[in-house]
């Protein structure tokens, strides 16, 4: 992003102003397309654009119709996947990434599909439509497929792998092919490997993958075709009704105190934005386009500012009420309501942001940043005039709390968001906006649909061969039956897997292979799944492939690798909190399971642990923290996270010792307990002077 766009430099006079831009006017849309792991890369025009728009509206309407008039599971999932795959081949290019660089983003050249793309789209409709035409006979012969079943089954599997390659890269399809080869060649695996099996022919593999509800059309695709598509439609309606810009405005109006750290303000704004987003990278870019001028004005170096933005943005996947796609899969795997998964996620997400804020506050004192005043319409005015945008969010939780399914809850919330848009003349949703929102909602689910269908292949092979139990036994044996070492091996495995595949696929693969190792050692299934979920998400900020950090660096102009490392530093406490879920029964209190007293004590101790770890990573307590007290704080944090009374007591003692060593060191060195904030810099909304002006720019 060019320097002219990023705002004032640190040394400029405080009375000079930086505009708080609309993120999409600032180029966020192009950056999201470039750095988001699951985003369309092709820019269509003419007939292809019209056809895709019609197909998108049809897919969204079909999903909304399903909520009120359920269609048999296999019929609905098959027809949904057929249309989603056809759209994917039209929307995503076969080779090459999106345009990169400012000039390319400015050109916005059309990039229409070719003959091969249309051929693949037609094949998708034919190979999956075939199963619907002969549905009754088709499902009965799953154990003994006919020749035509095998032909269309192989074609469908190949199409799913190609759609996945186009949307999220070649690594996940390669993993799927490896699993298929394992199913076919299992008899050749030597006994000492302990994962061999009898081997299965094409008939059995295709039958398991294509002709039932355990492969392509299993739980992962079911989640994409129900939960995820409904939430992407809801998110699109919110965006087109002006809610996205409003959440940015109200975030900075609420947290933009001139005496506050700009890093803290940005982090809290990221939390609010994350509650209505499901993408860490998209939230990072949207937030960065608005907040980087504020961070820079306050004195943050480019890499540190990028780390703040990426750490705040990745919380979008952890923050209720939407979370990421993997959270919906947890609900299906566990057979519990989505509201219960939201409850599990509440305290860990708060601890995540607590750790970030503490680490950022430490850096703010080391960098001697100054407060930044953000001039926006008053918070009271924003809440009174546009507060209705929060209504649909609250409605989702309320409706689920009184017993409605998540599907109906988000359906009614979408209707409410549409109706509430008419309270603003500028953003009322007429026929054109309704059409665009429905089309955008469908397009948002396409990469996830392809990913979930591909993950279904892995689930089918694991189910057919019993690989999950075999690998979990190997993990336990390698760990010597130790729960701690099992958790360590699991964490490393998930992080490595997450470097190669998106969060959704990483979670699904880990849930069927790694989670059973925890349950065999007595860990409750919900705690095991939440451990896997958090490490799948945290792989998004782990070097060397942290896309959110790379995107933030593109905005700030900082070094991408240094930005990754600082992001990792800010989020380090969150890497350790999930261990508390599985190492002690008391850790279930972090998932809001247990008595109120147990939950309260667990949360308090965990917050102290996160604080101790933040001191270690941020090198600051009441002043600069030296190596001795940082080491003591690391030890204290780890002991406290074990959450057993004996170790908690020792951890508190070690923490107290660390604080005492720090205070003595400050007294001896003559250090101070902090640095006085510099003069407040001022940042102005793009339409200063008219409160309603902050609403004038759209996000579409």
* CA-closest candidate to residue 224, choices 556, 473, 452: 452
In a domain, 601, yes or no: yes
Can you give the pLDDT at residue 300? 84
User: Residue 164 corresponds to which tokens in the numbers above?
Assistant: 């996945």
User: pLDDT at position 255, please?
Assistant: 67
Helical (H) or strand (E) element with 421:
none
* pTM of the shown model: 0.81
**Cα dihedral 191, 196, 201, 204 sign:** positive
Domain membership of residue 584 (yes or no) is: no
Q: pLDDT per residue over 317-367, tens digit each?
A: 777 776 777 788 888 888 888 888 889 988 998 898 888 888 888 888 877
Burial class (CB in 10 A: 0-12, 13-18, 19+), 626: middle
Other CB atoms within a 10 A radius of the CB of residue 579 amount to 23
- What is the reported pLDDT for 674? 46
| Rounded Cα gap, residues 531 and 490, in angstroms | 9
Residue 253 placed within a domain:
no
Q: Would you say 641 and 606 are in contact if contact means Cβ atoms under 8 Å apart?
A: yes
Average pLDDT over residues 122-135: 94
Can you point out the beta strands (E) in 568-622? none
Q: State the pLDDT at residue 276.
A: 60
Number of domains in the chain: 1
Alpha carbon distances (Å) from 48 to 115, 117, 159, 442, 450: 12, 11, 20, 16, 21
Distance CA 54, CA 287 (A): 31
Nearest-angstrom CA–CA distance, 466 and 525: 18
Q: How far apart are the first and last CA of the chain?
A: 20
| pLDDT value for 700 | 31
Question: What is the DSSP code (8-state) at residue 294?
Answer: H
Residue 603: per-residue pLDDT: 94
Identify which of 18, 11, 28, 23 has the alpha carbon closest to the alpha carbon of residue 554.
28
pLDDT of 214-226, one tens digit each? 889 998 999 999 9
Question: 12 pLDDT band (50/70/90 cuts)?
Answer: very low
- Are 315 and 280 in contact by the 8 Å Cβ rule? The answer is yes
Residue 637 in domain: yes
Average pLDDT over residues 406-418: 92
**What CA–CA distance (Å, rounded) separates 60 from 379?**
35
The CB-side HSE value for 562 (13 A sphere, CA atoms) comes to 11
What is the pLDDT confidence band of residue 666, given thresholds at 50, 70 and 90?
confident
What angle do the packed helices 229-240 and 243-255 form, to 10 degrees? 70
Residue 387 to residue 374: CA distance in whole angstroms: 20
- In a domain? residue 606: yes
The answer to the question of residue 628 being in a domain is yes
Assess if residue 432 is contained within a domain: no
Question: Rounded mean pLDDT of 467-487?
Answer: 89
Residue 643's region, left for phi above 0, alpha for psi from -120 to 50, else beta, is left
Inside any domain, residue 42: no
The predicted structure's pLDDT at residue 22: 56
Q: Is 624 helix (H, G, I), strand (E, B) or coil?
A: strand
Question: Which structural domain range is residue 660 located in?
Answer: 597-670
User: In whole angstroms, what is the distance from residue 219 CA to residue 452 CA?
Assistant: 8
């Amino acid at each position: 992003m060019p320097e002219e766009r990023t705002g004032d430099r640190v040394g400029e006079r405080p009375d000079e102003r930086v505009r708080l831009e609309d993120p999409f006017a600032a180029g966020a849309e192009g950056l999201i397309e470039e750095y988001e792991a699951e985003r369309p890369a092709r820019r269509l025009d003419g007939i292809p654009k019209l056809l895709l728009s019609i197909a998108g509206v049809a897919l969204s309407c079909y999903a909304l119709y399903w909520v009120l008039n359920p269609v048999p599971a296999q019929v609905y999932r098959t027809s949904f996947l057929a249309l989603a795959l056809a759209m994917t081949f039209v929307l995503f290019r076969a080779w090459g990434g999106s345009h990169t660089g400012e000039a390319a983003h400015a050109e916005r050249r059309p990039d229409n599909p070719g003959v091969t793309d249309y051929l693949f789209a037609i094949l998708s409709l034919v190979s999956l439509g075939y199963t619907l035409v002969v549905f009754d006979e088709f499902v009965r012969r799953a154990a003994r497929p006919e020749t035509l079943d095998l032909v269309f089954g192989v074609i469908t599997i190949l199409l799913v792998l190609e759609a996945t390659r186009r949307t999220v890269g070649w690594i996940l399809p390669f993993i799927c092919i490896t699993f298929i080869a394992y199913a076919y060649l299992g008899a050749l695996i030597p006994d000492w490997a302990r994962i061999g099996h009898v081997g299965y022919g094409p008939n059995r593999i295709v039958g398991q993958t294509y002709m039932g509800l355990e492969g392509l059309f299993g739980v992962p695709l079911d989640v994409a075709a129900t939960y995820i598509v409904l939430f992407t439609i809801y998110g699109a309606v919110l965006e087109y009704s002006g809610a996205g810009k409003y959440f940015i405005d109200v975030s900075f109006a609420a947290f933009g105190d001139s005496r506050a750290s700009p890093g803290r303000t940005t982090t809290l704004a990221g939390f609010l934005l994350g509650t209505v987003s499901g993408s860490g990278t998209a939230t990072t870019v949207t937030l960065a386009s608005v907040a980087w001028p504020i961070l820079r004005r306050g004195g943050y170096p480019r890499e540190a500012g990028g780390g703040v933005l990426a750490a705040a943005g990745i919380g979008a996947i952890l923050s209720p009420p939407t979370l990421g796609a993997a959270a919906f899969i947890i609900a299906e795997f566990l057979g519990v309501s989505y509201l219960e998964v939201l409850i599990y996620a509440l305290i860990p997400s708060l601890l995540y942001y607590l750790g970030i804020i503490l680490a950022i506050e430490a850096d703010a004192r080391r960098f001697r940043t100054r407060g930044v005043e953000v001039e926006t319409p008053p918070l009271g005015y924003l809440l009174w005039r546009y507060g209705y945008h929060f209504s649909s969010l609250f409605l989702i939780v309320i409706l689920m709390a009184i017993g409605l399914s998540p599907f109906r809850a988000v359906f009614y919330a979408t209707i409410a968001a549409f109706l509430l848009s008419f309270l603003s003349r500028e953003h009322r949703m007429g026929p054109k906006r309704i059409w665009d929102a429905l089309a955008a909602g469908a397009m948002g689910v396409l990469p996830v649909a392809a990913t979930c269908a591909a993950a279904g292949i892995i689930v089918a092979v694991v189910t057919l061969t019993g690989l999950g139990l075999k690998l979990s036994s190997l993990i336990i044996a390698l760990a010597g039956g130790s729960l701690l070492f099992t958790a360590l091996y699991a964490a490393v495995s998930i992080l490595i897997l997450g470097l190669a595949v998106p969060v959704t696929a990483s979670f699904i693969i880990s849930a069927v292979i790694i989670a059973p190792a925890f349950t065999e050692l007595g860990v409750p299934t919900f705690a095991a799944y939440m451990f896997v979920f958090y490490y799948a998400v945290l792989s998004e900020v782990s070097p060397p492939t942290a896309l959110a950090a790379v995107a933030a660096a593109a905005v700030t102009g900082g070094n991408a690798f240094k930005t990754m490392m600082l992001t990792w530093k800010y989020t380090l406490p969150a890497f350790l909190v999930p261990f508390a879920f599985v190492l002690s029964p008391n850790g279930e209190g972090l998932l809001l399971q247990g008595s109120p007293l147990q939950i309260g004590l667990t949360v308090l101790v965990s917050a102290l642990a996160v604080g101790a770890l933040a001191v270690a990573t941020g090198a600051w307590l009441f002043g600069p923290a030296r190596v001795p007290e940082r080491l003591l704080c690391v030890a204290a944090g780890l002991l406290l996270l074990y959450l057993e009374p004996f170790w908690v007591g020792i951890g508190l003692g070690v923490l107290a010792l660390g604080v005492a060593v720090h205070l003595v060191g400050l007294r001896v060195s003559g250090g101070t307990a902090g640095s006085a904030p510099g003069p407040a810099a001022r940042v102005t909304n793009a339409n200063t002077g008219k409160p309603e002006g902050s609403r004038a720019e759209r996000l579409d």
